[in-house]
Chain A
Amino acid sequence: MFYSPVRTNAAEVAQSNRLHLFRYVEDPEQVKVEKFEEHGGYVAWKKVLAEMEPSQVIEEVKNSGLRGRGGAGFPTGLKWSFVPKDSPKPRYLCCNADESEPGTCKDRVLMERDPHAIIEGMAIASYAIGCHQMFIYIRGEFAHCADCMEKAMKEAYEHGHLGKNIHGSGFDLDMIVHTGGGAYICGEETSLLNSIEGERGMSRIRPPFPAIEGLYSCPTIVNNVESLASVPHIINHGAGWYKSLGTEKSCGSKIFSLSGHVKQPGNYEVELGFSLKKLIYDKDYGGGILGDKKLKGVIPGGSSTPFLTPDMIDIKLDYESLVEGGSMLGSGAVIVFHEDTCIVWVIKRLIRFYRHESCGKCTPCREGTAWLEELINRIEAGRGKPGDVEKVEEICGNILGHTVCPLGDAAVMPILSTLKLWRDEWQYHIDHGKCMVKTDFEFK
């Protein structure tokens, strides 16, 4: 029925007056504008156009406590407010749909199953910052998502939600669906902007921040798909309602992509502050560990975030609690692995990825990730030498904090966390020339 057979908790969301993003994602008709409108779609957009000043929209989103859902968690309304009011240049909005943080597969569900929700959020954001040309940057491999967004965009134009003098407001807004070329780095906002400009997707030095000088050197806001899809709900139900969801500082709900060794992998929308343990073990979510094996570790926010051990998972899934617990909320991609997983084997996968995706601009990241990969491959293959673990640590230290964009940090933070949490396993590799546990996963 759906393009992707991914599991969601849409049924639970439909019963809730607090959860909202996934309410209609199991309805195959939701992709059509008529059905979307029937479900209350584009009401917020019309309300904004008819009744609200741009500054009021920014204020409302600021008051809602919405924070970026792509990884950094920066307050969305505050970001919008950085766009200079008096700039004579055009302003741009870019929806970041370059979903490529390993473990993350949430924005894809929204694009494939509720594309108008994203367009509506983008339109409201555009109005708030005075933008008349908005973009959605979709990773190149998501050809199907791009098709869904193109189709929805066409319908939005036909129904007068985009174009000239929208709903008689005098406000004009056009949209472009832009697809990338397979580069993780383009999820970083300045690389994304370079990529739209037709350049290699390399990051830019900040400041100037995109809100001041972004796309074509004009004020630009880059927001994640899920952040923007949350905006119409804030307009419809009010900032106070949204702020009452989640925790005091991490407001609202968030989609978590649960993958790896769980019985029921899927995308689950829960309020921020939800228990990580419950997400993994509850029968309505992860349903426990595959084969009822023992849990070994969890990556809570995508492959760039530090790992957690089983004694650390009694933790709330919100921005503050995870930092306190030694990790990060990131993009909300929870990757679970059980006792038969060798930690060096896991890191070997991850460092290969970061070496491959490093754009090459900053020496510490370009050279460091390559060195790390070589060294870690050697250790994993059982040819590690005394001092290699310390060498890995040293290289990580030389990357951390020494690069223009966060990719370098993202590559080393998980490694450093495993050196802390499972150092014995790394050392075992050096001393015995093999894994402490046998890692051999068969697909059936």
Chain B
Amino acid sequence: MAQVTRRPSAWAWVWLVIWAVFSWLPLVATLDFSLRARKGMLSLKAYQNIFADPGFYNSLAFSFQMALLTIVISIFLVVPTAYWVHLRLRRARPLVEFVTLLPFVVPAVVIAFGLIRWYCCPPFAFVSSPLLLVAGYVVLSLPYMYRAADTGLRAIDVCTLTEAAQSLGASNLQTFFLVILPNLRASILSGAFLTFAIVMGEFTLSSLLAWPAFGPYMQYVGVFKAYESAALAIISFALTWLVMLLMLWLVRGWAAARAVTAPR
């Protein structure tokens, strides 16, 4: 049967233009502003200033390290928990989902003060350790990482795959690492990307815990250097896209490696 192709209506174009203006105009304006550091001409001066500032590299490297640590710890904590909930605690799923949404309800500033209050003095004097910041990030990224893992687990028949592996002699750990985890690769990657984006832009926790992260650096630059601040926003945006493309490339590469025309 021939496919009927419908022409998009005029309204569709109107909404598309509104969406494009809403999404891209601020970005284009910021880009334009970032290029006007020299009076009367377009230049990359603001970008040169940013790239010449050691603070940029230091804060970027720090946040990058924190993001990687947060991702690793989040995966380590959240994915087995989500798996266990799917496998053995199905009734507790709504409760666990509610708990994972709490970081949306509790403001970051409350979490920061809570962490400082609880971990400021012995026997839990960790306030000067960057691991406390990572712990805070793990909490902040919990809804995203859990959702991502949960979506991946819903897409596979967790119980049957686990039972199949066990019937073949696999231990719980072998089942998790050889069967479940590889099938969650795409979900975990998307959760990792979201976590990365949150950590790279996070300001409240890192600022209140006094760490030289990328978020406070952007805020600092924004207060004193208008053009450099705009350039930093564009760099940050590009960085985020770069990571997203990297993730897409990884997922597609993995899918392409499996793609052969199926016989029917």
Is B one of A's binding partners?
no
